[in-house]
Amino acid sequence: MIPRTVFEEEHEMFRSSVRRFLEEEVMPYHAQWEKDGQVDRELWRKAGAQGYLVPQAPEIYGGAEADFRYNAVIDEEVSRSGCTGLGWGVHSDIVVPYLMNYGSTAQKERYIAACVRGDIVTAIAMTEPGTGSDLQGIRTTAIADGDDYVINGSKTFITNGQHADLIVVVCKTDPGAGAAGTSLIL
Amino acid sequence: MKAQDTSELFFSDVRVPKENLLGEEGKGFAYLMQELPQERLSIGIMAMAASHTVLQQTIDYVKERKAFGKPIATFQNTQFKLAELDTELTSAQVFMDRCLELLVQGELDTVTASKAKLLGSELQCRIVDECVQLHGGYGFMWEYPVARAFADSRVQRIYGGTSEVMKLIIGRSLIAD
Ligand SMILES: Cc1cc2nc3c(=O)[nH]c(=O)nc-3n(C[C@H](O)[C@H](O)[C@H](O)COP(=O)(O)OP(=O)(O)OC[C@H]3O[C@@H](n4cnc5c(N)ncnc54)[C@H](O)[C@@H]3O)c2cc1C
Ligand SMILES: Cc1cc2nc3c(=O)[nH]c(=O)nc-3n(C[C@H](O)[C@H](O)[C@H](O)COP(=O)(O)OP(=O)(O)OC[C@H]3O[C@@H](n4cnc5c(N)ncnc54)[C@H](O)[C@@H]3O)c2cc1C
């Protein structure tokens, strides 16, 4: 064995609590959720109450301002449990970071705390039926019209797609401009 | 991943207020490129954890299961397979942990994150496949965790950017002037 040195003692304590939560609140129900095709929505709120969603979020938005190793601990424990129905990784590691890094103050105030609590579940919609690897080739458009964007197109393989309250949609705001015409819209 | 609510979404003249734009118009692609390393490392990290689990389950299984009058763990082939897998996993975990340190320091670059995703997901699939094999016919039965691990592992080489796309990114960086 090569001992792992990346984690501190507090990460390992956190790990024990995540593991216990998964054993008590997730594993006994996962088989049923597989039949249902989705996990119980309430689980998101339970996980949020424990601080297992977006631990890196700023304290002013209800987060723990934890370093990414806490996300890694959650990812590892979820993976270890074999409970593949949990879309927490997409939510915490991928989508909410877009809000944290590129959102306006108004957007952050409106959404991040609810994402930490599990009241808002997020998803990201990049892939389309006609294009996945070639992200520059997306065809969904968002055309400005007065105070709105009007979105047309379709997206596929969207993790958390059923539970999602907030989706980051990758669209073309300037369909002629290739990558430079691509924008992210909530 | 049968409990995962992966879905198709259709937008037909959906109106959203302009204030729902994230960041600046036209910068979407740059933002994606900025955020993808974290997503890709997460996939690599999860690959390691899933691999450890299935390898341990398999070690437990081969010690219990008997063929030709003795535990299949006693066959040299079984031990050699396990030895290979554990060696690869041990070394990949060290790489993954180092990538995590770099990410925390804000220093994980796109190419290295692509290597983490490529290495992690490909190794996971190789390990799970060998573990199914060591389970014999039971490895193919849904009631066995290893069968689920086999089904679930496969998509790791596809989402978050396919293995081929990871190689494109790494390859381009190698021949760049
Ligand atoms: C369970 C699951 C969850 C997912 N979750 C999400 C999500 O939440 N959000 C989201 O936006 N997407 C999601 N995806 C979509 C996923 O990211 C795409 O499937 C993936 O990027 C590949 O795109 P594609 O399926 O269109 O394949 P294609 O792009 O059609 O690729 C087909 C094959 O061609 C190869 N290929 C493509 N281009 C090249 C090239 N230049 N050189 C060599 N080979 C190439 C690919 O590697 C692949 O082997 C999910 C997919 C799955 C299965
Ligand atoms: C879909 C399906 C359909 C099937 N259909 C039929 C059918 O119609 N009729 C029927 O009779 N059976 C059938 N089988 C059973 C199948 O033939 C057995 O699963 C197969 O022979 C392996 O036996 P086992 O599962 O007991 O594995 P085990 O014998 O327990 O083997 C476990 C592992 O140990 C390895 N091993 C065993 N002995 C040694 C050794 N001496 N040295 C090194 N390694 C060793 C094996 O290669 C394997 O990797 C079916 C199985 C499946 C999954």
Measuring CA to CA, which residue among A66, A110, A64, A119 is closest to residue A91? A119
Among all chains, which residue has been given the structure tokens 């998964």?
A22
Q: What pLDDT band is residue B41 in, cutting at 50, 70 and 90?
A: very high
Q: The tokens of B67 are what?
A: 């063929």
Q: Domain check: are A138 and A105 in the same one?
A: no
Domain final residue pick, A105, A120, A135: A120
Using the predicted structure, report yes or no on whether residue B45 has a pLDDT greater than 90. yes
Residues in chain B within 8 Å Cβ distance of A171: 28
Cα-to-centroid distance, B147 and ligand 1 (Å): 23
Domain final residue pick, A76, A100, A120: A120
Q: Domain check: are A85 and A152 in the same one?
A: no
What residue numbers bound the domain in which B85 lies? 37-172
CB A79 within 8 A of CB B49: yes
Residues in chain A within 8 Å Cβ distance of B101: 6
pLDDT along chain A (186 residues), means of 10: 93 97 94 90 95 96 95 96 90 95 95 96 94 91 93 94 93 87 92
Q: Which CATH number does the domain housing residue A155 bear?
A: 2.40.110.10
Q: Which CATH number does the domain housing residue B60 bear?
A: 1.20.140.10
| CA gap A115, A123 in Å, rounded | 11
Q: Residue A5 phi/psi, 5° resolution? A: -110, 0
Q: Is A185 helix (H, G, I), strand (E, B) or coil?
A: strand
ipTM of this predicted structure = 0.93
**N-term to C-term CA, chain B:** 42
Domain final residue pick, A104, A120, A136: A120
pLDDT for B132-167, tens place per residue? Answer: 999 999 999 999 999 999 999 999 999 999 999 999
pLDDT at B1: 76
> Has residue B8 been placed in a domain?
no
Q: The tokens of B55 are what?
A: 């390898």
DSSP 8-state assignment for residue B126: H
> Has residue B14 been placed in a domain?
no
CB B171 within 8 A of CB B150: no
Q: Domain check: are A153 and A178 in the same one?
A: yes
The answer to whether A85 contacts B2, with C-beta atoms less than 8 Å apart, is yes
Q: Domain check: are A92 and A149 in the same one?
A: no
| CA gap B21, A39 in Å, rounded | 30
Task: Provide the chain A residues 122-151 that lie in CB contact (below 8 A) with chain B.
Answer: 125-126, 129, 132-133, 135-136, 140, 142, 144-145, 147-151
What residue numbers bound the domain in which A173 lies? 124-185
> Has residue A2 been placed in a domain?
no
